[in-house]
Amino acid sequence: MSLPFSFIIITYNEEQHLPRLLKSIEELNAPLFVLDSGSTDATLAIADKAGAVTLHHPFENHPKQWNFALNNFDIKTPWVICLDADQIVTPELKEQLITFRNEDYQNIDSIYFNRKNFFKGRWIKHGGYYPIYLLKMFRYGKGHSDLNENMDHRFIISGKSIIWKNGHILEENLKENNISFWIDKHNRYSDLVAHEEVERMQNIRQQVTKPSLFGSPDQRTAWLKQIWWKLPRYVRPTIYFLFRVIFQRGILDGRTGVIFHFLQGFWFRLIVDIKIDEILNAQRKSKETDTKQPSPIVFAFKFVILFVIFYYFNILFFGITTPGGNHYSPFLANHFNYIEWLRYFLLTSSKQVLTWMGFTAINNQTDLLVAGRGGIRVIYSCLGLGLISFFSAFVLAYPRKLNKKITFLVGGILSIELLNILRFILLTLFWNKRAGRIIDHHTIFNITLYIMIMVSLYFWVKNDDKISNQHA
């Protein structure tokens, strides 16, 4: 009995991957259709040997490629399964497909498969990467490719869908074991995403999928994207990376996994934000702007004054709210002690994350201990107030609109303290106090954070400086 579905596969130089995919589905004996975009290796010969019907279409982006495939292959089965060449059908999913009967799914129009993603041979299990449900199987003629996306491809089907949680596809691009390939590919992808997001800002491009937090997997993704687009550029990659590594436990994916989360969650998103600004700058060339450039002397004076005020005010306030000091103020210590509030927030947040990670942690007003691991004492110099003073003074002194300053300032301070929480967690788990290191963790953290702050400030001011220089 022939099965009621066909496979459509898109390829480009996939001689390394296509045999692996074809082997995983050969027992199904389903019709095969391969859309190639100009392979120069043995991809087409492998497809022909497997009995696939092949077509050629120049590659623009994934949504347009899938759109061409759905509209130009002569599909005879009521269902289609759309796969990328670097994916594999697991034996469990294959068993579900072998027993699949169209008459058993009369009220269903599409099915989501569960994906396991691999990077350099490691399954990325955490950081929001599993489970991930992809709409891969649907009734032919009822689904179409979402052309309102440049890169993050999905199919649009209006009818009822279900999820096969145990129906896995494995996705591993072996070419990405060479990190240069990964970087080059995502650099190209960042162009597509940046142009798409600019068009969304200008209402040229709209979402087709209805955003809904409690809807289908694609509707939930659309809802989260709306949140993402509203977050401040350059700040959102840091927030997203820390969220993946800490709150979605990406740190449990090990060194390879953390590298992946950094590249995909931070580096790629940062490159997109940079390219968005480059596109917007090019579009602003024809618009009138204020050509008056900020005075470096005035800015430097304001920055120094603000930094001194912030830095020494924190030290002064710490002195008058610490019992035993000559100018101790019980009223301020009990009612307005923001330094103690910050310490409490950092300790309790670190403890909560450690608890989510499965460790037993306790804390008091100054100490954080992890059973079987280690502990730290959080003193004034651990709070990052010097870093915050530097960052705040620069942002407030720089001549820019107040709303942009406040948005960037809040995001930056939040990022500093989230990194501080990550430092506390790593210290309690791995830091060896008896190792006799020449440089302590305070110095390492401060140097790292000052570098990150300077990089973020550079990109923040780059836009204004470029416009001013063009019109001077």
Task: Provide the sign of the torsion angle of the four alpha carbons 426, 428, 433, 435, taken in this order.
Answer: negative
Q: What is the pLDDT of residue 467?
A: 44
The domain limits of the chain are: 5-173, 179-286, 296-471
Q: Where are the beta strands (DSSP E) in 96-157?
A: 110-119, 122-123, 132-139, 143-145, 155-157
Q: What is the pLDDT of residue 290?
A: 44
pLDDT in tens, 427-445: 888 776 554 444 566 777 7
Q: What is the pLDDT of residue 244?
A: 94
Amino acid letter at 320? I
Check if the beta carbon of residue 246 is closer than 8 Å to that of residue 421: yes
Per the confidence metrics, is the pTM higher than 0.85? no
Instruction: Residues 5-173: name the CATH superfamily.
Output: Spore Coat Polysaccharide Biosynthesis Protein SpsA; Chain A (3.90.550.10)
Who contacts 24 (Cβ-Cβ below 8 Å, separation ≥6)? 88, 89, 90, 94
Check if the beta carbon of residue 182 is closer than 8 Å to that of residue 190: no
Which regions in the chain score pLDDT beneath 50?
Answer: 288-292, 435-438, 466-472
Q: What is the pLDDT of residue 1?
A: 60
Contacts 24+ apart (CB under 8 A), 87-90: 87/21, 87/115, 87/169, 87/170, 87/171, 88/20, 88/21, 88/24, 88/169, 88/170, 88/171, 88/172, 89/21, 89/24, 89/25, 89/169, 90/24, 90/167, 90/168, 90/169, 90/170
Q: What is the pLDDT of residue 441?
A: 65
Q: What is the pLDDT of residue 288?
A: 45
CA atoms within 13 A on the CB side of 231: 18
pLDDT in tens, 122-171: 999 999 999 999 999 999 999 999 988 888 888 999 889 999 999 899 99
Q: What is the pLDDT of residue 95?
A: 96
Nearest CA-CA partner of 224 in 216, 424, 24? 216
Q: What is the pLDDT of residue 317?
A: 87
Q: What is the pLDDT of residue 328?
A: 85
Q: What is the pLDDT of residue 246?
A: 92
